[in-house]
Structure 1
Amino acid sequence: MSAVIRVGTRGSALALAQCEQAARELGRAAGLEYELVTVTTQGDTSKANLASLGGTGVFATALREALIAGDIDVVVHSLKDLPTAAYPGLVIAATPKRADARDVLVARDGLTLEALPAGSRIGTGSPRRIAELKAVRPDLEVVADFRGNIDTRIGRVASGDVDAVILAAAGVDRLDRAEAVTERFALSDWPTAPGQGALAIEVREGEASDLARSAEFARALAKGLDKVNHSTTRATVTAERAVLAGLEAGCAAPVATSAIVDDGMLFLTASVYATDGSTKLTANHAAVLDSQSAADLLAAAAEVSQRAVDELLSLGAKELA
């Protein structure tokens, strides 16, 4: 088959690196060639704070519009950047196996978070990370208006502009910058954003429709998507994002989640923070898996996330998030 999968991505180094990885896997699974198509988003061109732009969803809109228009066949997103609400006409068709979901510290002189002197300047634009920082190290100065690609942010530590930055492990690893990391935070102590470390491959709903280039291409693409989908990852990120949706919090809200599948059970921890770090509400829930089938995994995800949302709301999470 001569058709090529046109894979939409942002043009940043990280987006291109993770898209290349996902596209290569998808092309191999589908038996098709692929090409990357870069799309410029509002989040790439604006220098404004992400919260003022409406959260990290600003990175997804232009890509989704290009997909709806038929200019590309699939989009690879960082799942934590996607709003939880469904986008009309599109569906997440696959979630490849998740990378490291943790946050990492990049600090001067090889320091850990605990070892940073009082008054040290630490950069992050994430409300969730800011709240977690203020909860454990209120004596640090948080530089909140902090944007730029990973190399730029690491460079601000090297230049002495800040003493440390907090980044997603998956992004640092995908760009082969692991040597800059001075500490990796345990998820049990420092839970991260819903879906962090995972990718989402989005397609038009009903890909065999008139928007598909041929029925044969649509069948090959569907086969490839099914092969690259990792059912355990799909279930855990579904549980995490369902908490965000249930709390009606945006993807930049101070909400942290961590879900895992272990020993025949799906475990979920969800926390909501006051923006100043003064209050933290946490819910821990688990569901027994009848099997490891995709359907049972997703059913367990729905069950534990709803119980977590109910508990957090009863504790007053609405007033925090």
Structure 2
Amino acid sequence: MNLRLGTRGSALATAQSGQFADAVVAAAAAAGVDATVELVKVATKGDVDRGSLVGLSQTGVFVTALREALLAGECDFIVHSLKDVPTQPYPGLEVVAIPVREDPRDALCTDGRALAELPQGARIGTGSPRRAAQLLAVRPDLDVRPLRGNVDTRLGHIGEDLDGVVLAAAGLNRLGRSADATEPLSVTAMVPAPGQGALAVEIREDAPAELRELLATLDDADTRACVTAEREALRVLDAGCAAPVAAHATVAAGRLTLHTRVIGHDGALALNERNSGVIAEAAAIGRSSGFSLLGRGAERLMGRA
């Protein structure tokens, strides 16, 4: 079986896609099937456009070109960072697998100083309003500045024009750069983005049964339940990357617990919602959390009221 995996061309995307390709080959071998996986690199709007991405997440800035390549038959399946994927289904495609999640936390990268040790007015770079708002909630004195670029570019600002940057721990781990994380930030103080650390594997609805069954063996039920709850809350809130919305779910003893947070851009005000239930109720838990936050004034914090 010779397969083609569509991926963005960035170092992080090719690293995570390459790791998943290895998992596919191993899963096929375990089933007695000889498989190869070729990476097909696809340029996306998010890779080409060097402007700010704030407000563009709901257009699928990092995923649309991949999906079009899949539908055009240029590849057999695609891999996304789930937090970049819009919450609405895409016609003709389906998510066949969500593998075991990587570390969902954000990580502070500095010259070695933890967040509490940084000086008054320290300059921290991030391209995420969610991260910016939660940093200011903990340290209102920080000078939080917009930042784009790949991991190496962002880390290169430390000691130059910035005292630190905040990146996803999962990305650092997948790149073999976990040593660059000075301080992993707790999911309580810095609630992650919905789906952060998780991957989504998409196929065409008419994909061969053999491919569908192979990829489905790499789906992780607990991870799927957690990100389903997180993304349902995000969908109800109708929030993109311009809104400081965070959600993190965990599973223990057959029950799922979801923490959803909407926070004002300056970090001064935040709404938190915590709900739990059996895993089978993951979507309902997410919807309930989202509607509850809307009823408590979330739209005002997101700048829509």
- CA deviation profile, 1:28-60 (whole Å, cap 9, x unmatched): 323321100000011111111001545682111
Could you tell me which of 22, 39, 46 is aligned with 1:43? 46
Distance in 2 between the 1:74 and 1:264 partners? Answer: 31
- CA deviation profile, 1:68-95 (whole Å, cap 9, x unmatched): 1111110100000101111111111100
Do structure 1's residue 164 and structure 2's residue 145 form an aligned pair?
Answer: no
Could you say which residue in structure 1 is the equivalent of 2:196?
A: 196
Could you say which residue in structure 2 is the equivalent of 1:211?
A: none
Partner SS, residue 124 of structure 2: strand
Do structure 1's residue 147 and structure 2's residue 148 form an aligned pair?
Answer: yes
Partner SS, residue 70 of structure 1: coil
- CA deviation profile, 1:5-39 (whole Å, cap 9, x unmatched): 10000111100000011111123323321100000
> Closer, same or farther in 2 for the Cα pair 1:318/1:103, shift >3 Å?
same
8 Å contact 1:56–1:82 — kept in the other structure? no
Distance in 2 between the 1:141 and 1:101 partners? Answer: 25
Partner SS, residue 272 of structure 2: strand
Do structure 1's residue 73 and structure 2's residue 54 form an aligned pair?
Answer: no
8 Å contact 1:82–1:251 — kept in the other structure? no
Could you tell me which of 258, 268, 275 is aligned with 2:265? 275
Shift of 1:264: 2.5
Q: Count how many residue pairs are aligned between Structure 1 and Structure 2.
A: 297
Could you say which residue in structure 2 is the equivalent of 1:59?
A: 62
Runs in 1 of length 4+ with deviation above 4 angstroms? 52-56
Do structure 1's residue 22 and structure 2's residue 20 form an aligned pair?
Answer: yes
Do structure 1's residue 4 and structure 2's residue 27 form an aligned pair?
Answer: no
Could you tell me which of 98, 115, 118 is aligned with 1:116? 118
- CA deviation profile, 1:139-198 (whole Å, cap 9, x unmatched): 111111x101111111111x4221000000000011111111110111122110000000
Q: Which amino acid aligns with 2:91?
A: P
Q: Which amino acid aligns with 1:148?
A: G
Do structure 1's residue 314 and structure 2's residue 295 form an aligned pair?
Answer: yes
Q: Which amino acid aligns with 2:210?
A: A
Partner SS, residue 292 of structure 2: helix
Q: Which amino acid aligns with 1:263?
A: A
Distance in 2 between the 1:252 and 1:234 partners? Answer: 25
Distance in 1 between the 2:153 and 2:195 partners? Answer: 24
Could you say which residue in structure 2 is the equivalent of 1:97?
A: 100
Distance in 1 between the 2:273 and 2:94 partners? Answer: 29
Could you say which residue in structure 1 is the equivalent of 2:281?
A: 300
Could you tell me which of 245, 259, 262 is aligned with 1:255? 245
Distance in 2 between the 1:65 and 1:149 partners? Answer: 24
- CA deviation profile, 1:208-232 (whole Å, cap 9, x unmatched): xxxxxxxxxx232112112100011
Distance in 1 between the 2:243 and 2:234 partners? Answer: 9
Could you say which residue in structure 2 is the equivalent of 1:127?
A: 129
8 Å contact 1:56–1:252 — kept in the other structure? no
Distance in 2 between the 1:52 and 1:318 partners? Answer: 15
Structure 1, unaligned stretches of length 5 or more? 208-217, 290-296
Do structure 1's residue 82 and structure 2's residue 85 form an aligned pair?
Answer: yes
Q: Which amino acid aligns with 1:126?
A: S
Could you say which residue in structure 1 is the equivalent of 2:235?
A: 245
Q: Which amino acid aligns with 1:308?
A: S
Distance in 2 between the 1:260 and 1:303 partners? Answer: 15
Distance in 1 between the 2:185 and 2:84 partners? Answer: 21
Could you say which residue in structure 1 is the equivalent of 2:275?
A: 285
> Closer, same or farther in 2 for the Cα pair 1:246/1:23, shift >3 Å?
same
8 Å contact 1:107–1:182 — kept in the other structure? yes
Using structure 1 for the length normalisation, give the TM-score. 0.89
Distance in 2 between the 1:286 and 1:52 partners? Answer: 30
Shift of 1:306: 2.0
> Closer, same or farther in 2 for the Cα pair 1:266/1:53, shift >3 Å?
closer
Q: Which amino acid aligns with 2:188?
A: S
Q: Which amino acid aligns with 1:220?
A: E
8 Å contact 1:43–1:56 — kept in the other structure? no
Q: Which amino acid aligns with 1:301?
A: A
8 Å contact 2:54–2:241 — kept in the other structure? no
**Greater Cα offset, 52-61 or 299-308:** 52-61
> Closer, same or farther in 2 for the Cα pair 1:56/1:193, shift >3 Å?
farther
